[in-house]
Chain A
Amino acid sequence: MSTWIAVITASVIAFGLKLAGYTVPRARLEHPRVLRVTQVLPAALLASLVVLQTFSTGTHLVLDARAAGLGAAVVALLLRAPFIVVVIVAAATAALLRLGGFAS
């Protein structure tokens, strides 16, 4: 049930933020300090999510096939592969390593 609450709450907030761009007075959102923070928040959040998703299980740091998948994803990005290819390359790398018994 709490998953549904999270889904609905996050959706309501997301829509409120989108609508705010069209309704909140410009001065408030264009304040230099607000702009500074909002422009970089995605970089901090996404970097954190990369670490969480790749190197953590619960509250433990772990090194497993996901790390190899991430490495493959970075190589794909350096080669300018599209998003879907990056994702598939990472999944395939991790899956093959597990299949071969090289990583957990």
Chain B
Amino acid sequence: MTDDPTPPAGTPDPDDDVGAARRAVVRQGVSVAVATSLYGVSFGALSVAGGLSVAQTCALSLLLFSGGSQFALIGILGGGGTAGAAVAAASLLGVRNALYGLQLVPTMLPTGWRRFALAQLTIDESTAVAVSQSAPPLRRLGFWVTGLGVYAGWNLMTFLGALAGDALGDPQRYGLDAAASAAFVALLWPRLRARQPVAIAIVGAVVTTVLVPVIPQGLPVLAAALVGALIALWWPDRWRAGEAAG
């Protein structure tokens, strides 16, 4: 879509109205950014409750910048797991961001230094808003508005959450440990729309439950990932027929 020098005024067809379409994308991106940023508060508070410092908590949001991976890292470290297990789980969860980049290459046409900013902002939310637009310029707009909006809001709210968590003291008194459970189940929820991810989630939960008392902390989550991967590889194709992409 190129900028039309003479937009027909008062036309009933919204496709002709580039300005309105762009405003709609900006509105969508901003609302996603605000909603996502709000739970940056819970990340900040939970991270401090899990034993990380305010600086470490903020560094995660600035540098790692991928919600699921951040929650996984602080969850395992806070639960007494090793740094290696925490990094491994966070990294496995981050693999999906590589697939998002792959989807976005034709739209975003990355060049030079911009590809680094592009990469850092490639997360669930920016990708979702970008790919749901109808034309490449709107996709690019959606990506940048959402990505930059989430980046700014997520980091600000992480900082505020970390300060609040620091001030609150005993995290259990406020149910912050249950809040972490809720954060993980809320991240999992939207993925349970097809048979395969449901089956894999159940197996992952069972494997974890069985292994917790048996193997060192941090390893059950990696075992669950391994078993999930094996199931995905051996999942019969005929079971996939007619399913939404898992």
A residues neighboring B (CB under 8 Å):
2-11, 13-15, 17-24, 26, 29-30, 33, 35-61, 65-66, 68-70, 72-74, 76-77, 82-84, 86-96, 98
Contact = CB atoms under 8 A, between A and B. Distances in A.
Given A45-B89, A83-B186, A52 B75 contact: yes
Interface string B61-89: 00111101101110111011001001101
Contacts of A65: 175, 178
Nearest to A23: B115
A53 B98 contact: no
B48 interface: no
Given A10-B86, A52-B220, A70 B174 contact: no
A36 B237 CA distance: 11
Given A14-B65, A21-B103, A87-B42, 8 more contacts: A8-B59, A23-B115, A46-B185, A47-B200, A47-B202, A48-B204, A48-B221, A83-B38
A53 B220 CA distance: 12
Contacts, number: 321
B153 to A, nearest CB: 12
Contacts of A84: 35, 38-39, 41-42
B228 A43 contact: yes
A14 B204 contact: no
A69 B91 contact: no
Given A39-B245, A84-B42, A60 B92 contact: no
A14 B90 contact: yes
Q: Which applies to chain A's interface (DSSP): helix, strand, loop or mixed?
A: helix
Contacts of A51: 205, 208-209, 212, 220
A48 B208 contact: yes
Contacts of A48: 204-205, 207-208, 220-221, 224-225
Contact of A10 (B35, B87, B198, B214): B87
Interface residues of B, number: 104
Nearest to A76: B182
Q: Which applies to chain B's interface (DSSP): helix, strand, loop or mixed?
A: helix
A19 B120 CA distance: 8
Contacts of A46: 68, 93, 184-185, 187-188, 191, 201, 204
B64 A7 contact: yes
Contacts of A30: 102
Contact of A4 (B56, B172, B201, B235): B56
A21 B221 contact: no
B175 A92 contact: yes
